[in-house]
């Protein structure tokens, strides 16, 4: 089952000719349009989806429930329903949601935000500990999971890979050159790195005519990891800048 009301890109959810005859996809919809930018309304709608998924779980009575890419307020209802039905529960850990919540909510709600973030940290790692198995997309999550009491023996790593058959290669329209880098900074220097690289990015995009884009992206799950995304007019333009540096 999947949330049809959440506005985000989705893969092919239609039943394919080679799928088993008993396979089906069941969309779950909110009663109102999903309020993506309202914390409190969004939370209530995530709970609404969780309750509907729990109802489906009771109706279908599965042997195994694999839950992923779902907010914690949705997933906790699914996990509770799986336990009630005696089904095994597999937590697919795409992101550590409580880390993102801890980075955003206290800034938006200074008085209660830290309490809200603490609750979601407690909820997420309790759910992970109580799951029968955990699938995570990266080795980077393993130290944090172990530190929070998740048994390493019940964790499997499956990295994200796109369906290549659905992503056909297309001819390039120009000679623009993409530079992408991943940087791990010592945690105590992470904030200083943000300030320095953000200033560098603004200067490059604003004053270098061959630099068409320069983004500095901070990973909310691992906040000392950064992604640098740069687009240059061509490879020569990139090489000139980086050799000079």
pLDDT along the chain (245 residues), means of 10: 75 85 88 81 91 94 92 95 96 90 86 92 96 93 94 93 70 79 90 84 75 87 88 82 59
Number of Cα atoms under 13 Å in the Cβ half of residue 13: 11
Residue with tokens 């949601």: 97
pLDDT of residue 52: 95
**Rounded Cα–Cα distance for residues 175 and 193 (Å):** 31
pLDDT of residue 150: 97
**Rounded Cα–Cα distance for residues 154 and 9 (Å):** 30
Q: How many other C-beta atoms lie within 10 A of the C-beta of residue 38?
A: 11
* CB contact at 8 A, 232 and 212: yes
**Which stretches of 40-174 are assigned E, i.e. beta strand?**
64-68, 88-93, 133-136, 155-157
The predicted model scores a pTM of 0.70
pLDDT of residue 221: 78
Residue 113, phi-psi category: left (phi > 0), alpha (psi -120 to 50), beta (remainder): alpha
pLDDT of residue 44: 92
Residue with tokens 């992923």: 68
pLDDT of residue 135: 96
* CB contact at 8 A, 97 and 144: no
pLDDT of residue 111: 85
């Amino acid at each position: 089952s999947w949330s049809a009301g959440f506005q985000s890109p989705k893969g092919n959810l239609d039943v394919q000719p080679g799928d088993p005859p008993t396979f089906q996809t069941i969309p779950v919809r909110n009663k109102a349009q999903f309020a993506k930018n309202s914390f409190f309304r969004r939370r209530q709608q995530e709970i609404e989806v969780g309750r509907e998924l729990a109802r489906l779980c009771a109706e279908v009575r599965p042997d195994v429930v694999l839950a992923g890419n779902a907010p914690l307020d949705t997933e906790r209802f699914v996990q509770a329903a799986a336990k009630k039905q005696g089904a095994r529960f597999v937590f697919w850990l795409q992101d550590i949601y409580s880390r993102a919540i801890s980075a955003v909510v206290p800034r938006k709600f200074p008085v209660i935000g830290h309490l809200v973030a603490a609750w979601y940290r407690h909820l997420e790692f309790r759910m992970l500990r109580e799951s029968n198995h955990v699938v995570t997309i990266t080795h980077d999550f393993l130290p944090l999971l172990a530190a929070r009491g998740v048994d390493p023996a019940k964790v499997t790593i499956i990295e994200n890979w796109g369906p290549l058959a659905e992503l056909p290669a297309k001819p390039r329209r120009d000679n623009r050159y993409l530079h992408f880098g991943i940087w791990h900074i010592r945690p105590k220097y992470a904030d200083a790195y943000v300030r320095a690289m953000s200033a560098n990015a603004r200067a490059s995009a604003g004053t270098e005519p061959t630099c068409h884009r320069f983004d500095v992206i901070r990973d909310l799950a691992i906040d000392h990891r950064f992604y640098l995304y740069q687009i240059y007019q061509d490879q020569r333009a990139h090489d000139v800048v980086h050799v000079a540096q």
